[in-house]
Structure 1
Amino acid sequence: MRPSTLFIPLASLAASLASACDPSTLNTTLYLYPITETGTTVFDVARLTGRGVCDIGRANLMADVTIIPNVGQTLWIPPQVCEPDNTSCLIPDTNRTRTCIYGGPRLYYTVNGDTYDVIARRLNISTAVLLADDNGANYTATSALPVGTFIKVPTCSPSRCVIEPFDFTEGVYLDLARKYGTTVGQIMMLSPTYNYSVSLYEDTGASTPTINMAYNCTALSSNVTALT
C-alpha cells in the first residue's frame, strides 16, 4: 500500500490530538511492540499505539518507514506527543526524471514491501528506467517484488560518491540523504541487510549501528551516460 494512502487516517489522528491535547494525559510509557501478524506495517503500529509514524521511525533508526517489518521483530515505541509526526520522514513522490544514480552502487537488495516504484522513489530516478533496465516485463511498477533479490540500478558515468563507515545514532535514512547529498536507496544498497535498530531503547543495552554511508554523490560532467 502506498504511504499516501496510509497517511490519511494518521493525519486525522494527529490533528485531533493536537487540537485538544493535555500533555498530562499522554502515554509516556516506553516499551517494545512485537510484530505478530504478517503484513503489519509501521503505519499500523503508529495507529494502534497513538504515535506518529515518523516518531516511531526515528526512535528505531529506520532505513524507511515503508519497509514492512517481519513477524518476530519488535519496535521501540517512544513517548506519545501532542503533535505526532506522520510526514517528515516520507520520501516525496515527485516527478522523477533522472535516468541513473550518481556514484553507485550497482545492485539494490529487495526488502519486504518493495515494488519498482518504491525502489525508484528511494533512488530518485524514473520508475520506467528501472523497469526497463532490470527485465521488469514480469512485473508492473506497483507489483510486490520477492524479498532478497538483487535489482540492477543504472549508474551515471562519470560520477562518484565518497563512501565511509558511519555511526548511525539519530534520524532515518531520509534525514541522512538530505544532509549528506545522497539518496535513501543508495544508503540501503551499501548496508543491504539493515532495516532498523532498537538500540536507542535503554533496556536493550545495544550499541547504535554502524552502516556504510555515501557522501556528496555528484556528476563529474555536465554530460553523463547511464551505464546499464
Structure 2
Amino acid sequence: MKIADSILAALLSLGTLGAASSSCDTSKLNTTAYLYPITKEGTTVFDVARATKRGVCDIGRHNIMADVTITPNVGQELIIPPQTCTPDNHSCLIKDEGRTRDCIYGGPRLYYTVNGDTYERIAIRLNITTESLSGGESANTTLPVGKFIKVPQCSPSQCIIQPYSFEWGVYKDLAEKFDTTVGQIMMLGPTYNYSTTAFSKDSTYPSIDLAINCTLLSNNVTVLS
C-alpha cells in the first residue's frame, strides 16, 4: 500500500502504527467523549489524534467525516471518542494501489478544492492517475481552497445518484460499499466535511448524495476533459 508522504509522516508521529500494546490497562483509559476545539490554523486530524491519544480513524468515524486528511478550520469542534487499547490509524485511509484509470466513471465533472488538497491527493480520492487530473501542473503543491477543477470523465459511463442518510463512518466506507469513489461523493456535496450533530442530544444525521454503481457503458471509451 502506498501512502502519501505527508500522511505517512503524520502516522509515524502518532506512534501507534500497529496494534496497541498487550500491556494496555483498560482501567486507565479515558472513556469520556468530549468536544475538542480547533484553535490553531493548520491543525490536522492527525494532530488531534496525537494530542488526545486516540486513533485518527476512530475520530473520523465518530465525526462522520468525508476524509480525515482534510484539515479542519479554526473554530470547528471535533468529537473525541472514548479511548481504546486498539486505536485505529489505518482503516479509514484511502489506499493508493496503482491507479491506472485516466477518467472517472459517471460523474460529476467539477471537484471543489478543500483544505490541504493537492492534485495528487484529489486523484487518489478519485482513483485516477495524477497526470490525467493535473494536466502537467505540480502534483504536490497545495491548491487554494474553493477552486473548481474539471475532472476527466469516461464516456459513455453512468452512475446512479441517490440520497443517503450518513449515520456512521467516513466516505471511504461508503465508497467501498456502493462501488464509487471518495472524490465523487465529495463532488456531490462540496461543502460537507464532518458532523457532530448525529451524536448530540437531538441527534440528526446529515443527508448526502451518493453516486453509486458507477460503470462503463461501452468498451469504446472517450475521455471527456
Q: Aligned letter for 1:50?
A: K
In the alignment, what sits opposite 1:179?
A: 177
Residue 69 of structure 2, aligned match among 66, 71, 79? 66
Shift in Å, 1:202? 2.9
Tell me the residue number matched to 1:5.
Answer: 9
Which range is displaced more, 216-225 or 183-192? 216-225
Aligned equivalent of 2:49, options 32, 37, 46: 46
Contact 1:96 1:125 in 2 (8 A): yes
3-state DSSP of counterpart to 1:2: helix
CA distance in 1, matches of 2:73, 2:41: 7
Contact 2:31 2:81 in 1 (8 A): yes
Shift, 1:19, TM fit: 2.7
* Equivalent AA in structure 2 for residue 42 of structure 1: V
Q: Secondary structure at the match of 2:177?
A: helix
On the 8 A contact 2:19/2:86 being kept in 1, the answer is no
Q: Which amino acid aligns with 2:205?
A: T
Confirm whether residue 20 of structure 1 aligns to residue 18 of structure 2: no
Q: Which runs of 5+ in 1 are unaligned?
A: none
Structure 2 counterpart of 1:166, which letter? Y
SS at match of 1:96: coil
- Deviations, residues 174-197 of structure 1 (Å, cap 9, x unaligned): 000000000000000000000000
Alignment of 1:106-121 (within 5 A): 106-121=109-124
After TM superposition, give the deviation of residue 14 of structure 1 in Å: 5.8
Question: What residue ranges of structure 2 are gaps of 5+ in the alignment?
Answer: none
Query: How large is the RMSD of aligned CA atoms in angstroms?
Result: 1.4
Whether contact under 8 Å (2:11, 2:17) holds in the other structure is no
Q: Which amino acid aligns with 1:211?
A: I
Q: Find out whether 1:125 has 2:122 as its counterpart.
A: no
Write out the 4+ residue segments of structure 1 that deviate beyond 2 Å after TM superposition: 12-19, 200-203
Q: TM-score, normalised by structure 2?
A: 0.94
Give 3-state SS (helix, strand or coil) of 1:174's partner.
Answer: helix
CA distance in 1, matches of 2:200, 2:21: 28
SS class of match (1:18) = coil
Cα offset, 1:206, TM superposition: 4.3
Q: Indicate whether 1:162 and 2:166 are aligned.
A: no
8 Å CA contact retained: 1:162, 1:217: yes
Instruction: Name the SS for the 1:144 alignment partner.
Output: coil
Superposition TM-score, scaled by structure 1 size: 0.93
* Count of matched residue pairs: 221
Counterpart of 2:192 (choices 191, 194, 198) is 194
Q: Could you tell me how far apart the structure 2 residues matched to 1:5 and 1:158 are?
A: 40
Identify the structure with the greater helix proportion: 1
